[in-house]
Structure 1
Amino acid sequence: MKKLIAIVLLSIHLFNLGGYAVLYQYFIYKSDKLMNEQISRNMFNVHDLVEVKVPVNMPQITSWTSYQRISGQIQFRQGCYNYVKLKLTRDTMYVMCIPNYEKTRLVSANIIYAKNIEDLPISKKDNTFGKKINLSEYSHFVILFDFTSRPTDITTTKSTTVLKHTSLYAGTPFQPPELLA
């Protein structure tokens, strides 16, 4: 009985540690999988499609005359969308998207609204939640190093050294001492 209670309490504790995040990711995965299956079978309402225009600057390409099938996901503001068609021109990219209501509901349910919390660690004057960052102020240099070596010809020569000994014993320059007995 004690083991059963310990297992139940341990499983509750482990679920509190990471089970919610795993369960949340599983539901997001299932929602994406269902939506992708419906899109691949053309089981979506054409009247639900939303056209999104994204300004681009690609003067080298030729403009497409019609939409091409493409699949992917994008998120605008509070809504999640799956795009199904794409058309490019030199100055605009047109993306036809279909709303993914289930994923939008899951994502919005997981957001913590900080404005409802009374004891925020920052003051009301120093509110940095709405601060916009201008990325053009920041720049970094990218330096590319290429460490490739060029092949060189290596010439090898074989040399053998032969040592010849004339006798098995080495001679000494003086007489060895006599053995004292």
Structure 2
Amino acid sequence: MKRAAAILLLIIFLFNWFGYRLLSDYMQHRADTQLESQLDQHQYNEASLIEIRVPLNMPYQNISSGFERYDGEIEYKGIHYKYVKRKVANGELVLLCLPNETRMKLQNAREEFFKLVNDLQNAQENNSSPASSIKNPITEYWQEENNWRLEALTAQQHRYTGYAIVIPPSPLITTPAQPPEC
């Protein structure tokens, strides 16, 4: 009975430690694959597409007349966008993007859950109070005394010894001479 209870508590502990993250990653991956399948089947609102233009500095560009389906994503100011279409025109890469709302909702839910589980909201609210419920006994009573004295270094007399550097005569001949005959 004790063994079963220990195993159950260990499973609960490991699920709290890793399981929620794995579960949220799985849900996010599933939502991403569903969104990609909707984009491949053209099941989206054309009016909600956002255009991003990136200048290209390439000498030989393949200029495309129409948009082509393209996969990718970008995050800008906390909003995740999924690439839908792209084309190259007038020296610019034109990307049509769709805001990925399900990914933003899942990430916000993950962050809120992480704050609740780790009690980060109460830590931020109680941040102004100097007393905390858990104190580290080592650093709480750690008293460090630094008895450094810089005056002793400046008062010390430094003696520098000069050494005569002897440079050997140069083996090069500085006067012009006739080159050897071959």
Hey, what's the Cα distance between the residues in 2 that align with 1:58 and 1:89?
A: 12
Measured after TM superposition, the shift of residue 101 of structure 1 is 0.5
Check 1:26–1:46 CA distance in 2 against 1; reply closer, same or farther (3 A cut): same
In structure 2, runs of 5+ residues without a counterpart are 129-182
Q: Does residue 85 of the first structure (1) align with residue 108 of the second (2)?
A: no
Aligned to 2:103: 103
* Partners of 1:63 and 1:89 within 8 A in 2: yes
* Partners of 1:16 and 1:22 in 2: CA distance: 10
Deviation at 1:109, TM superposition (A): 3.5
1:39 aligns with 2:35: no
Q: Whole-Å Cα distance in 1 between the matches of residues 48 and 56 of structure 2?
A: 25
Give 1:7 deviation, angstroms: 2.2
TM-score between both structures, scaled by the size of structure 2: 0.57
Name the CA shift for 1:56/1:31 in 2 (closer, same or farther; >3 Å). Answer: same
Question: What amino acid sits opposite 2:76 in the alignment?
Answer: F
After TM superposition, list the pairs within 5 Å mapping 1:67-78 onto structure 2: 67-78=67-78
Identity of aligned residues (%): 31
C-alpha separation in 2, matches of 1:109 and 1:43: 26
User: Is contact 1:60-1:90 (8 Å) kept?
Assistant: no
Partners of 1:90 and 1:61 in 2: how far apart? 10
Residues in 2 aligned to 1:63 and 1:41: alpha-carbon distance in whole angstroms: 25
Letter matched to residue 34 of structure 1: Q
CA RMSD of aligned residues (A): 2.5
Distance 1:60 1:25 in 2: 41
21-30 or 82-91, which deviates more: 82-91
Deviation at 1:110, TM superposition (A): 3.7
Quote the Cα distance in structure 1 between the aligned partners of 2:17 and 2:33.
Answer: 26
In 2, are the aligned partners of 1:56 and 1:90 still within 8 Å (CA)? no
Q: Secondary structure at the match of 2:85?
A: strand
Aligned to 2:158: none
TM-score normalized by structure 1? 0.57
Deviations 1:13-32 (A, max 9, x none): 11122112211211110110
In the alignment, structure 1 residue 10 sits paired with structure 2 residue 10: yes
The answer on whether the counterparts of 1:61 and 1:90 sit within 8 Å (CA) in structure 2 is no
Aligned residue type for 2:8:
V
